[in-house]
Structure 1
Amino acid sequence: MNRQSSSFDAGRRDFMKKSSIAAAGVLAAPLLSRANFFSGADNTIKIALIGCGGRGTGAAVQALSTKQNVQLVAMADAFRDRLDGSYKNILEALEDKKGRVQVKEENKFVGFDAYRKAMALADVVILATPPGFRPIHFEEAVNQGKQIFMEKPVATDPAGIMRVLAAAEIAKQKKLNVVVGLQRRYQTSYRELIKRVHDGAIGEIVSAQAWWNNDGVWVHPRQAGWTEMEYQMRNWYYFVWLCGDHITEQHIHNLDVINWALDSYPVTAQGMGGREVRKGKDYGQIFDHHFVEFHYGNGAILNSQCRHQKGTMSKVDELLVGTKGKVFCDAARITDIKGNTIYQFDKAKENQPYQNEHDELFEAIAKGEYKFWDAERGAKSSMTSILGRLATYSGQPMQWDTALHSGMNIMPTAYAFDATPPVVPDANGMYPVAIPGQTRPF
């Protein structure tokens, strides 16, 4: 998983060189105006789906379910079977809006470079591939001047975060709307809670807790004829370069809520984790539990835990503790310091946040408005999760600035199904797994 120091230094120099070239290319592209938000005179908003898994399919359905005049015109995925399955599922889910799916056969693109071709046909791109590819795809979408919805997390390593932050600055200059799929920020109950927190309802936040504990996710058994790259791509959740580990892929939601409430990001982290249950070769590299203590600049401390172990307590929630009270996020309740309820959100008024993030994005796009600046905060909450992973993998305290600027790059040097992934199994089919106290963070 970790590279040697010499290759790390070379990788960092290469990353900085490529980032400079990419930024120059982005700057050369024309800025958008209200007049060229759309590719057609009839104000049809054309969408390209990049990444045709379950989340990409869901995001496409949600985009096509908005009130605006939208059409899905292009799709891209590394695998043709995933693209075909997604196309079928989108049609089945839309019912009376099937006419919004206008993807010609020649606009179904397959392969590692498919995203560029699909993006070129659209006004808005949905980025929903495994997270490791997000920096590359986001950078290209900004370069092409597209409005963007991208799933979280937005990278799996610090080099990727830096790449997203650089492209995000260009997106801001171009006034490109960017929504990141941290849907709690688009959920009515959370908006009401955090508004009251920022208005002082619980005083100054001194501590917080966050949980993402459940059974875990799918496994796809290795099939004859698959290369190692295809196997890892099919089982992306279990490889750090693709997924970032579940602290990054899932727990980011909870970490983002705490960052939102504090309007800040942690400066240090230390923690522990490992593999107690999910140990076999089918589970790649990732841990099955993490516990991280994050320290913020104002002195607040977040104790965060995420776990994938069947038969254990299931809990996905956040708790904020202030000098005057507490916020129980899942219950949508605020109490005073003695436990008396001072605010309770009416759950009957809850919205559908996954749909709402698209409703608000496409409404802004249709009006030619620039309203959404999710890219930077999405990158920094992704970095929060990566900081936690570096702490649990190494067993060492991590500093935000040191980690962010480390240049750590865990992505492949080549993208092809016959290329060698960043990690490979040993003779027994086992993949390298971090050992706290022995694994170097960078």
Structure 2
Amino acid sequence: MARSSTVIQRVPCTRRSFLHQSSAVISALAVTRLAAGQTVHVAGSDVLRLGLIGCGGRGSGAVINALTVDAQTKLVAMADAFAWRIDESLQSLLALKPEQIDVPPERRFVGLDAYQHLLACDVDVVLIAVPSHFVPIYLQAAVDAGKHVFCEKTHAVDAPGVRSVLQSAETARQKGLSIVSGLAWRYDTGVRETMQRVHDGAIGDITSIQEVCNTGSLRSLPRKPGMTEMEYQIYNWYDFNWLSADLPGLNLVHNVDKGAWALHDAPPLSAWGMGGREVRKGPTFGDVFDHHATVFRYPDGVQMYAYCRQINGATTDISDVFIGTRGRCDLLQNKIEGEVTWRYEGPPCNRFDLEQAALLSSIRAGTPINNGLYMARSSLLALMATWCSHTGEEITWDQALNSQRQVNPERYALDAPPPVLPDADGNYPIAVPGTTRFA
């Protein structure tokens, strides 16, 4: 299935026009309300019917979060590329929430077209937790089908995908549909309270931001016997750029999203960076790097420094630090120091529960939530980090947003060749900074 050409923006968008257009859309999203008595779920029923597209750990977890926060929800349909993943997920879900699970065999759909069959079912809300390459396609289809959506990050792997997400957000606004992003820190109670104080001036004007996501190696899955190359890459999608957008798409996106939030989601002027593949080498690790460092340049000399690494045995650090003219903020510690000293002392929360509660309550209240703008922007920040590392080039926001570069398979089928293939020794082509070019 090819992406619709209608979502490819033909007129170049500059940072200035993006800011202007975004402000207008934010205003429209903020006032979106359904007419009194109007509902966008099952008429005459208090039960919200959920469909899950992508039945791995994050998708299954999102279902549990939704069923936990709203007892009047039911999971009624599931879709995944692999039948065994549906079976494993369903078994786990039935063990935890049997009274809220109703997914008979005829509502279990397998394959890369499974999402289409699920969207044809009588579902009100779709939870999308799939390799990032597919997110814009599935999001557009869900919104076109009139479904409310929870959508896991990262929301695109290329600029046409980012533009598609923006278009889907606008379509959702027009239809009165909710879109909630899996950039879950925006729903964390302590983080929200801390960020509000930053926005209220507790640390003065922000001069620099440091975002770090250095961890051990995430999973790299061995090939199962009999798998086609497409099946293997989708199964082991963390390690393939066309599916994940490398480490920035997998995990640093949460950090740069928080940095962007601190700066009121204004886009940067440009970014440059570096990265490489020092430890995680060989066919098992596909074509991704194991470390990235990026500098995002903003007006008035403000810079955001973003780092991510996945190397076992190295120091781990996950943090967000904002430096201002009157103090500093350690966001994940919910702490502000300087002229103002403050720390959040409220109760702990489950941000994954809270994002589902926000989605479901917005549907019931008829006051749609639409996270489409910031989830598209933050996804593009993550993509810029990847592209800067791979090429060694400085890339402007305008270049990134208007890029036409895409890496797509000729067709979406498990027996089709993926767009990246190994050589005779099983090794995949790796980006070389200074040689690989951004286009």
Taking structure 1 as the reference length, the TM-score comes to 0.90
Alpha-carbon distance in structure 2 between the residues aligned to 1:304 and 1:320: 12
Q: Contact 1:46–1:71 (CA<8 Å) still a contact in 2?
A: yes
Where in structure 2 are the equivalents of 1:35-434 lying within 5 Å?
35-94=38-97, 98-121=98-121, 122-263=123-264, 264-336=266-338, 342-346=341-345, 349-370=347-368, 372-434=369-431
Alpha-carbon distance in structure 1 between the residues aligned to 2:429 and 2:319: 31
Which secondary structure state, in structure 2, belongs to the residue aligned with residue 266 of structure 1?
Answer: coil
Alpha-carbon distance in structure 1 between the residues aligned to 2:184 and 2:3: 31
The CA deviation at 1:157 is 1.0
Check 1:182–1:102 CA distance in 2 against 1; reply closer, same or farther (3 A cut): same
Q: How many residues align?
A: 412
The CA deviation at 1:299 is 2.8
Bigger mean CA deviation after superposition, 82-91 or 293-302: 293-302
The CA deviation at 1:226 is 1.0
Alpha-carbon distance in structure 2 between the residues aligned to 1:384 and 1:324: 27
Gaps of 5+ in 2: 10-32
Q: Contact 2:157–2:242 (CA<8 Å) still a contact in 1?
A: yes
Q: Contact 1:32–1:174 (CA<8 Å) still a contact in 2?
A: no
Deviations 1:75-119 (A, max 9, x none): 00010000110111112233xxx2110111100011111111112
State the identity as a percent: 39
Q: Contact 1:68–1:363 (CA<8 Å) still a contact in 2?
A: no
Q: Is the counterpart of residue 19 in structure 1 residue 22 in structure 2? A: no
Alpha-carbon distance in structure 1 between the residues aligned to 2:281 and 2:6: 37
Deviations 1:294-352 (A, max 9, x none): 11234310111000000111111100000111001121110116xxx611111x51211
Alpha-carbon distance in structure 1 between the residues aligned to 2:308 and 2:392: 16
The CA deviation at 1:67 is 2.7
Root mean square deviation, CA, Å: 1.7
Instruction: Name the counterpart of 1:11.
Output: none
Amino acid at match of 1:402: Q
Which secondary structure state, in structure 1, belongs to the residue aligned with residue 361 of structure 2?
Answer: helix
Alpha-carbon distance in structure 2 between the residues aligned to 1:105 and 1:41: 26
Which secondary structure state, in structure 2, belongs to the residue aligned with residue 162 of structure 1?
Answer: helix
Q: Contact 1:77–1:109 (CA<8 Å) still a contact in 2?
A: yes
Alpha-carbon distance in structure 2 between the residues aligned to 1:87 and 1:78: 15
Q: Contact 1:394–1:441 (CA<8 Å) still a contact in 2?
A: yes
Alpha-carbon distance in structure 2 between the residues aligned to 1:55 and 1:289: 24
Bigger mean CA deviation after superposition, 408-417 or 232-241: 408-417
Q: Contact 2:34–2:366 (CA<8 Å) still a contact in 1?
A: no
Alpha-carbon distance in structure 2 between the residues aligned to 1:85 and 1:156: 28
Which secondary structure state, in structure 2, belongs to the residue aligned with residue 64 of structure 1?
Answer: helix
Alpha-carbon distance in structure 2 between the residues aligned to 1:289 and 1:130: 20
Gaps of 5+ in 1: 1-13, 22-30
The CA deviation at 1:223 is 2.3
Alpha-carbon distance in structure 1 between the residues aligned to 2:300 and 2:82: 47
